[in-house]
Amino acid sequence: MSGGLSGERAELKTVLVTGTTGFIGQHLCSVLLKRGVELHILGRRQPEIDAKFHYWDLIEPLNATSLAGIDTIFHLAGKAHALAETRQDEDEYFQINTESTRKLLEEAKKSGVQTFVYFSSVKAVGDMDGVMDESVSVEADTPYGRSKRASERLVLEGRYVPCPIVIRPSMVYGNTEKGNLPKMIRAIYAGKFPPLPEMNNRRSMVHVNDVVQAALLAAGHAESAGKTYIVTDGENYSTRQMYEWICEALHKPVPIWYLPLFVLKLMAVTGNTIGALSGRRFVFDSDTLDKLTGSALYSSEKICDELGFNPKYNLRDSLPEIVRFLGLNKS
């Protein structure tokens, strides 16, 4: 371990969070309230939690009084990766993600905010073979990724606050209705997700509670100032493993047959054609196939070594609770 473990900052006292109605934001606010901080919410609608609410739509100028007395900001709000769009509007991503971050940083500087934790994404850089860490500088290959990378640069290089921090979660799982994992679980439950062969692909993932733990850990350590941290649960999963574990959590037998890869490729080509004609992505296309069969490996060694991050969850153990949350297992 590095010397960063002893470099703790003052305890969080007055905290502002954006994106509180989102998956990670809800969990973060819950933990912050349990810690007894004075919690402020910045957004378009007030969640049903005990916090002071300030309105901001990410587009209009920010009311400067919203940040008065705030010592730490956790910025999660923005436009998520819209996978259903066949054509993604780069200007919209930059307006909502990057420009809103700049506006918030400018007001944070005026108000004397000390710590700014920006929730980015591993998609802020492009893909490459092997395990990727924070040193990878491949240009992002999507409008979403480019907007997140531009936001990261504003946070880390803009000299707005004494302690800027970037958190890059890998694919986040946990108790939520949204995202690809709940869709996969529901499809397997309904018998609409055919078993795939073991293709030895590997993907990094992380539980939402561990993402929150990592962000709070980074906000509380002097070592993290000016740093970017990738966050994973330390394990890697193949699609076949996930399929079998979901069946296990659903108490369903794993079929003895599987759909050959060449059939999946034919289905993806058909989906591409339907998407091109309709102007909206079909439920199964080449991008879906890539997510099912491709790999995306990330290392969280840096945050573990520097800050002592220790993920407490893994996917297999978490799936029964996720299944119960989705109402698919009454036992």
Quick one: pLDDT at residue 171?
A: 95
Contact 224, 218 (CB under 8 A): yes
Residues of the chain with pLDDT under 70: 1-10, 81-88, 330-331
pLDDT computed for residue 80 by the predictor: 81
E strands in the chain: 14-18, 38-43, 52-55, 72-75, 115-119, 131-132, 163-169, 171-173, 203-207, 227-231, 236-237, 297-298
Tokens 């905290």: give the residue: 15
Residue 64 CB: number of other CB atoms within 10 A?
11
- What pLDDT score does 278 carry? 86
pLDDT of residue 23: 94
Q: What is the pLDDT of residue 217?
A: 96
Is 22:76 a contact under the CB 8 Å cutoff? yes
Task: Note the pLDDT tens digit of each residue in 132-168.
Answer: 999 999 999 899 999 999 999 999 999 999 999 999 9
Task: Write out the two tokens for 224.
Answer: 């993290």
Residue 125 CA: distances (Å) to CA of 83, 150, 187: 17, 10, 31
| Residue 86, pLDDT score | 44
Q: Per-residue b/e over 177-209, b at no fewer than 16 CB within 10 Å? A: eeeebbebbbebbeeebeebeeeebbbbbbbbb
Phi–psi pair at 119, nearest 5 degrees: -90, 105
pTM: 0.91
What single-letter DSSP state applies at residue 22?
A: S
Closest alpha carbon to 74 in 43, 110, 50, 48: 43
- Map out the domains of the chain as residue ranges: 10-174+204-232+296-312
pLDDT for 2: 38
- Residue 143: Cβ-neighbour burial (10 angstroms; 0-12, 13-18, 19+): buried
CATH of domain 10-174+204-232+296-312: 3.40.50.720
Q: Which residues neighbour 208 within 8 Å (Cβ) at sequence distance 6 or greater?
A: 23, 24, 27, 172, 173, 174, 175, 176
Calpha distance 329→321 (Å, rounded): 9
Determine the distance from the C-alpha atom of residue 239 to the mean position of all C-alpha atoms in its chain, rounded to a whole number.
19
